[in-house]
Amino acid sequence: MVLARLILGLLCLAPMTGYELKKHFDSSINHFWNADKAQIYRTLAQLVDKGYATVTTVAQSNYPDRQEHHITDAGRQALVGWLSDGAAQGTERDPFMGQVFFAAELPREDIDQLLSERRVKTQAVLDDYLSQREGIDMRAAADRRSFLMAATLDHAIRQQAAELEWLDAVMEHLP
Amino acid sequence: MVLARLILGLLCLAPMTGYELKKHFDSSINHFWNADKAQIYRTLAQLVDKGYATVTTVAQSNYPDRQEHHITDAGRQALVGWLSDGAAQGTERDPFMGQVFFAAELPREDIDQLLSERRVKTQAVLDDYLSQREGIDMRAAADRRSFLMAATLDHAIRQQAAELEWLDAVMEHLP
DNA sequence: AGTAAGTGGGTGCAAAATCAACTAAATATG
DNA sequence: CATATTTAGTTGATTTTGCACCCACTTACT
C-alpha cells in the first residue's frame, strides 16, 4: 500500500501517465523505492476505482494517447492521512546482511570476495546518488518541497557511505 | 527466496522447529530481516520437499511434539551457493522516506512531528540493537562465525546512528 | 533499409508475503 | 480460580511483487 501513496504523491505534483510515473520511480525515487511497471498500472487502476484519481485521455499527434491520471480531493486526503501516520518502522530487509550473517560457511577467500564485490557495488550506487545530487544542490535549500526531496537523497547517500565504512572495518578485522 | 536461504542458514547451525526459527528471526535476525510465522512453516515444507531438509518428530513429555528440521547435504550446498552469489543489490525500500519525500503537503508543525516521532523510534531501535550487542561483544572477535554475526548487528547500529544524525540535520535546516 | 530505442499501455501467472484465525495442552501470574 | 503466556503447528484468504510476455506506433542510428 506504500506504492499507492507514493503514486498519489507524484500525482499531487502533476497529473501523469503510468509511463511517466515509472520514469519518476526509476530516476528520482529509486534511492528509497522501486516499482514494477505492471504494478504501477494496476495500482493506478485501483486508485481510480477507489476515487483517489481520475483518468483523462489526451490524444497526441504522433504518440499514443496519454491516459493522464489526476489526483482527486479524496486522493489528496488519503495522501495527507498517510503522511502524518507514524509508519510502524517496518524492519529493513537486506539480503546481503543475510549472506554476511552466514558467511562463515564459506572459505576465507570467498568471504573476502563477497565483501569486496559488495564494496564495489556500494561505491557505484553511492556515486550514482552523488551525481544525482549535483543537479539539485543549489536550489534545494530554497523551497521546502525541494529541500525534503533532496533530503531523502542525502539520507541514501549517508546510508551508502556508512556501509562503505562498515565494509572496510569488517574486511580489516575479520579473523 | 531469501527467506529459504536464511532458514537453511539457521538449520545449518542446529536442527530446529519452525517455532524456534521464528524466535531466532525475532531475536537475532530482526535487525536485517523479519518473517511471518505462517511463511516460515510454509517455507520449511518447501525445503523438505526440495530435499534441502528432513523432518524428525521428537516427542516430548509435557509439550507438543517437535517437528525438528535438519539440513541435508543438498541444503548445505544450496546455502553455500547462495552465499557466494553476488546478490543484485536490490533497492532498499523505506516507506518513511516516502513520507519525507512528499511531506511538503503537510503543515510545518506536522512535518516537525513526523520527524521527531521518527527520531524517538529510531533511537529506541538503536538502543535495542546496542543492548543486543552487549551480550556478544567480548567473544565476538574470537571465531569467524560470531564475528560475522556481530558484524551485521554493527551494520544495523551504524545505519540507525547515521539516520539519527540525518534526522537532526533535516530538522535543523528545514526551511 | 533494417534495427534499436522510445512512447504508451497493458495481460497472465506464479511466487512471496501478510493477516487473521484456530487447535491444544501446559505453565506462570495475579 | 481465572486469565494470560508459552510451546507447537496449521489453514484460508488476500495482497504484493516480479517476471515475462504482448500490442502499436515513432524516432533515431547505422
Q: What is the pLDDT of residue A136?
A: 80
* CA dihedral sign, ordered A85, A91, A96, A100: positive
CA of A22 to C1' of C9 (A): 12
The confidence band for A86, taking pLDDT boundaries of 50, 70 and 90, is: confident
Place of cell 546481503: A96
Comparing alpha-carbon positions, the chain B residue that sits nearest to A124 is B89
Nearest-5° Cα angle at A25, B89 to A129: 55
pLDDT of residue B138: 66
Nearest CB among B117, B141, B170 relative to A86 is that of B117
Q: Which residues, 6+ apart, have CB-to-CB distance to B110 below 8 Å?
A: A83, A84, B103
Q: Residues of A from 110 to 169 whose C-beta is within 7 A of strand C: which are they?
A: none
> CB of residue A62 closer than 7 A to nucleic acid strand D?
yes
- Mean pLDDT value across residues B121-144: 84
DSSP three-state, residue A129:
helix
Supply the Cα-derived Rg of chain A in whole angstroms: 20
d(CA B130, CA B166) in angstroms, rounded, equals 19
Share of chain B above pLDDT 90, in %: 80
Asked which of A4-13, A98-107, A129-138, B105-114 is least confident by mean pLDDT, the reply is A129-138
Q: Which pLDDT does position A152 carry in this prediction?
A: 96
Name the nearest CA neighbour of A150 among A160, A161, A139, A159.
A139
Residues 37-56 of A with CB under 7 A from strand D: 37-39, 42
pLDDT for A97-140, tens place per residue?
999 999 999 999 999 999 999 999 999 999 999 999 988 866 65
Q: What is the DSSP string of B108-167?
A: HHHHHHHHHHHHHHHHHHHHHHHHHHHTTHHHHTTSHHHHHHHHHHHHHHHHHHHHHHHH
Q: Is the pLDDT of residue B173 over 80?
A: yes
CB of A67 under 7 A from strand C? yes
Q: What is the reported pLDDT for B140?
A: 56
The pLDDT of B62-68, averaged and rounded, is 88
Residue B35 pLDDT:
94
Q: What residues of chain B lie within 8 A of the CB of A170, using their CB? A: 148, 151
Q: How confident is the model at residue A84 (pLDDT cuts 50, 70, 90)?
A: confident
Q: Which of A83, A84, A155 sits opposite B166 (nearest CB)?
A: A155
Entry pTM? 0.90
The three-state secondary structure class of A138 is helix
Question: Which residues in chain B are contacts of A81 at CB distance < 8 A?
Answer: none
Between CA A155 and CA A148 the distance in angstroms is 10
Distance CA A54, CA A44 (A): 9
Nucleotide nearest to B44 (CA to C1'): D9
- Is B91's pLDDT higher than 90? no
pLDDT at B85: 83
Strand D closer than 7 Å to the CB of B14? no
- Which pLDDT band holds residue B142 (cuts at 50, 70, 90)? confident
- Residues lying close to strand D (Cβ under 7 A), chosen from 131-170 of chain A, are none
Answer yes or no: is A43 CB < 7 A from strand C: no
* B132 CA from D15 C1′ (Å): 33
Q: Say yes or no to pLDDT of B70 above 80.
A: yes
| pLDDT tens-place string over residues A18-74 | 999 999 999 999 999 999 999 999 999 999 999 999 999 998 888 889 999 999 999
What's the pLDDT at A145? 93
Contacts of B159 in chain A (CB under 8 A): 92, 159, 162-163
Q: Which of B77, B101, B123 to mutate to test the interface with A (most CBs of A within 10 A)?
A: B101
CA B76 to chain centre: 21
Q: Which of the four pLDDT bands, split at 50, 70 and 90, describes residue A88?
A: low
The C1' atom of C14 and the CA atom of A157 lie apart, in whole Å, by 35
State the pLDDT confidence band at B59, using cuts at 50, 70 and 90.
confident
Q: What are phi and psi of B67, to 5 degrees?
A: -90, 90
Q: Are A69 and A55 a contacting pair, CB within 8 Å?
A: yes
Over residues B6-47, the pLDDT tens digits come to 999 999 999 999 999 999 999 989 999 999 999 999 999 999
Is the distance between the Cβ of A83 and the closest atom of strand D smaller than 7 Å?
no
Separation CA A163–CA A126 (nearest Å): 10
* Over residues A4-21, mean pLDDT: 96
Instruction: For residues B150-169, give the mean pLDDT.
Output: 97
Instruction: Answer whether any strand C atom is within 7 A of the Cβ of A33.
Output: no
What is the SS3 assignment for A1? coil
